[in-house]
Amino acid sequence: MSNSGISQLVSHLGNTAESIAVKNPATGKITYQLPQHTAAQVLEKFQLASHASKDWAATSVADRVEILKRWHKLVLANENKLLDLLQLETGKSRAHAFEEYLGAVTPVSYYASIAKKTLAPTRTKPGVPLLTKTYVRHEPIGVVGVITPWNYPLALTMLDVVPALVAGNTVLQKADNQTALTALFARSLAITAGIPENCWQIVTGPAAEVGNAIVDSVDYVAFTGSTATGRIVAQRAAGRLIGVSLELGGKNPMIVLESADVSRAAEIAIAGAVGSAGQLCVSIERVFVANAIKAEFLRAISSKLDQFQIGVSNDFSMDVGSLTGEAQLNRVSGFVADATAKGAKIISGGKALPQLGPHFYAPTVLTDVTEDANLFKAETFGPVISVTGFDRVEDAIAQANDTEYGLNASVVGDEREALAVAEKLSAGSVNINEGFRASFASMESPMGGMKASGLGRRNGPAGLLKYTEAKSIGISRGPIKLPYRAAQYKTLAPLMRLLLKYWR
């Protein structure tokens, strides 16, 4: 994107006293200066969104859907620009940028297809047939705060902003400092499609100051990020008695059964672990392999990784790109160094690749990771997997579940056998013969975590209805009135007893 194009996008953020330099993580070169909002400026943006909410809520669902349809066409027409921005801001390969792009297009078309039916008033079974009628309306909440991270800036923006808007809410989004351009460009397409400008406000700045200001002002919060920060968001939202949905961390396991095709299992593990350089909440980090095929699996995964092309180019020639900054490189390098110092063995990778750029790290496979290593249970968020053997499937299941997290899991092997294992795994999503994409790609399937991996779900009708307030309306009708005196209760009691016996 040209400097003028960047300046035009950034102009939405307005004038601020402070700004920071944003770098291309693949090259380390400064791309542009990003304004940094204060808490007071966040409040100003909130007020704009709040003032716009009444008119937007009054816009018919049918009209909102038509805007989404136009937005969908614009997102499709601007594929290359979006891919370029994703690569510029995250350093990921073209292939992984495209994978994210797919996850950003589908929410627009999906919610355009279900919004009218899902948001329509719904008749419900009355408590007293003939005498009463009940139905439910789904009304917008108000201003939704959306806090998005740097790793999937396009998909994670669209997965929350799209349903919030089509439900009739306005949005105040905190985009991560590293990846704000992607969100700003997505917003510009929405405005072109017909979303009123003030209905979607974006702010950037210091995470704590800006994030707290959002949580302290909006009517609902959708947060994606670390479990530690998610707890803070939840506590702060609870103090205001506002709703919150949290998509948090994971230490996602894969179980490779003896019935698995070993070569294919190695490919699935690689795809699940190194997509976007492993910087994805649902990435596979722990692999448990039946001991009968463990040696063959390690040879296969090492051989396949040896053929990987690492780098960033604006075509599909590279298999994996860069980490998205120095903090991630330090975390990944530190975890691997700590694990090897405590006895882990490196099967493949295990090193930074500074000759390619400042934040490249080789996809890494380790064995014999000890329980006292950071890598054993903490989320790495990089292209690193640990491989552990097992003799009994029950032991692999127990090890897979032995974590505070429960976001994603995978089972590779005979489908029937794998399904039986999947039912015993404590995770919001379980993929069979795939790492994460089978479930992640399904907009109809709820996506979210168990345990410390989050609260609430994205996707499906529930992913739209969570951005509404359900209002139940009951109507008393018919020739017989509901009682208010003791004698009337006595008269109606036989009828009510009959209803209690047979009415379902």
- Condensed to tens digits (0 to 9), the pLDDT of residues 233-273 reads 999 999 999 999 999 999 999 999 999 999 999 999 999 99
Question: pLDDT tens across 296-355, in order?
Answer: 999 999 999 999 999 999 999 999 999 999 999 999 999 999 999 999 999 999 999 999
Write down the H helix ranges in 241-290.
262-274
CA distance 203 to 503: 53
SS3 content of the chain, % helix, strand, coil (to 5): 45, 20, 30
What's the CATH class of domain 3-248+458-468? alpha beta
pTM for the full predicted model:
0.96
Q: Is 155 helix (H, G, I), strand (E, B) or coil?
A: helix
Return the pLDDT at 502: 85
Question: pLDDT tens across 58-112, in order?
Answer: 999 999 999 999 999 999 999 999 999 999 999 999 999 999 999 999 999 999 9
Residue of 88, 99, 93 lying closest to 24 (CA atoms): 88
Can you say whether the dihedral through the CA atoms of 177, 181, 187, 191 is positive or negative?
positive
Return the pLDDT at 221: 99
Would you list the domain boundaries of the chain? 3-248+458-468, 252-446
CATH architecture assigned to 252-446? 3-Layer(aba) Sandwich (3.40)
Instruction: Supply the residues annotated as catalytic.
Output: 247
- Indicate the pLDDT class of residue 138, thresholds 50, 70 and 90: very high
Q: Compute the mean pLDDT over every residue in the chain, rounded to the nearest whole number.
A: 97
Return the pLDDT at 477: 86
Assess whether pLDDT exceeds 80 at residue 371: yes
Do residues 379 and 453 lie in contact, with contact meaning Cβ atoms separated by under 8 Å?
A: no
H/E run at residue 417: helix 415-422
- Looking only at the bridges linking them, the beta strands covering 220-224 and 243-247 are parallel
The predicted model gives 462-476 an average pLDDT of: 97
Question: pLDDT tens across 400-420, in order?
Answer: 999 999 999 999 999 999 999
Q: In Å, what is the CA distance from 445 to each residue of 206, 376, 429, 463?
A: 34, 30, 9, 10
- Indicate the pLDDT class of residue 204, thresholds 50, 70 and 90: very high
Residue of 9, 6, 246, 7 lying closest to 147 (CA atoms): 246
Return the pLDDT at 188: 98
What one-letter code names the amino acid at 403? T
Assess whether pLDDT exceeds 80 at residue 478: no
Return the pLDDT at 263: 99
Question: pLDDT tens across 45-71, in order?
Answer: 999 999 999 999 999 999 999 999 999
- Indicate the pLDDT class of residue 498, thresholds 50, 70 and 90: confident
Assess whether pLDDT exceeds 80 at residue 504: no
Return the pLDDT at 503: 81
Assess whether pLDDT exceeds 90 at residue 496: no
* Cβ neighbour number for residue 129 with a 10 Å cutoff: 11
The predicted model gives 156-179 an average pLDDT of: 99
The predicted model gives 171-184 an average pLDDT of: 98
Return the pLDDT at 317: 98
